[in-house]
Amino acid sequence: MRMKILIIGSKGMLGTDIVSEISKTENEVIGWDISDIDITKEEDMSKIEKESPSIIINCAAYTDVDKAEEERERCCSINVTGVKNLVDICKKLNIPLIQISTDYVFNGEKEGYDEDNKKNPINSYGQTKAEGEDLIIDNLKKYYIIRTAWLFGKNGKNFVETMLKLFKEKEEIKVVDDQVGCPTYTKDLAKAIINLIEKDYGIYHITNSGKCSWFEFAEEIKRLTTSNCIIHPCKTKEFPRPAKRPKFSILNNNKIENLQDWKDSLQEYLKI
């Protein structure tokens, strides 16, 4: 059945790829960004009601992890109040909500998290994303919560682009080697999200296969770009940040087919 799919946050790194992938299907795609709708404003929900979509994919979020520690109210407004408004309109229209969430809802003390593991965030960003998840779970029957991690893609700032820039500017850099996660290519994630619409409602963990530290991630980027920059491993404590980071951000995928290895996706990304 042909669906009308509304993407909120359509100009972001993930949202852009989702719009692109849906455009290849028979479904109608509507892409809205901040200039089209402010999810923190309850009165803006009437725009969604007027459009009458079949499903909403919410890619809009406050994602500046460090700044969230000092801008807790703004972060909460987008990640909690905004989600509540979307929950209310989805409930009213009786349509599903796909919410993009994060590995940061966990504290990183385990070497891998299942979909049903208890949430225990250690920073403000993670706390607001966890609260947003709870609002959805407590109030909707039709929902997909997609936790993902370490995103990179061609339509936004990301670790790969930061490294490429530093490789050109510096002869030597330091990168932390005691935080481990699953790098995820937004193009792969976008395809998986579209396929998910045919699955059962619930919580899903979707990342590329494999795992690495930020240092190992940087080393692979260097290898593929033949940079001469020297990368030194270091510890998180050497770079104090306002927000704590989980040591292990590995999300176990127990529900759907695994995506390709992150190294293969990185190679594809760098060829773009």
pLDDT grade for 239, boundaries at 50, 70 and 90: confident
| 235 CB-near residues (< 8 Å, 6+ apart) | 176, 177, 178
pLDDT score of 139:
98
Residue 25 to residue 31: CA distance in whole angstroms: 15
For 72-123, the pLDDT digits (tens) are 999 999 999 999 999 999 999 999 999 999 999 999 999 999 999 999 999 9
Instruction: Give 115-164 pLDDT, tens digit per residue.
Output: 999 999 999 999 999 999 999 999 999 999 999 999 999 989 999 999 99
CA distance 103 to 115: 10
Burial of 240 (0-12, 13-18, 19+ CB in 10 A): exposed
Determine the pLDDT at residue 198: 83
180-212 confidence digits (pLDDT tens): 999 999 999 999 999 999 899 999 999 999 999
Domains of the chain, first to last: 4-151+183-205 (3.40.50.720), 159-181+210-271 (3.90.25.10)
Contact indicator for 94, 115 with CB cutoff of 8 Å:
no
143 catalytic residue (yes or no):
no
Of 62, 104, 125, 269, the catalytic one is 125
Alpha helices in the chain (DSSP H): 13-22, 45-51, 72-76, 82-93, 124-139, 159-169, 186-196, 214-225, 262-271
Smallest CA-to-CA distance from 186 within 153, 221, 147 is with 153
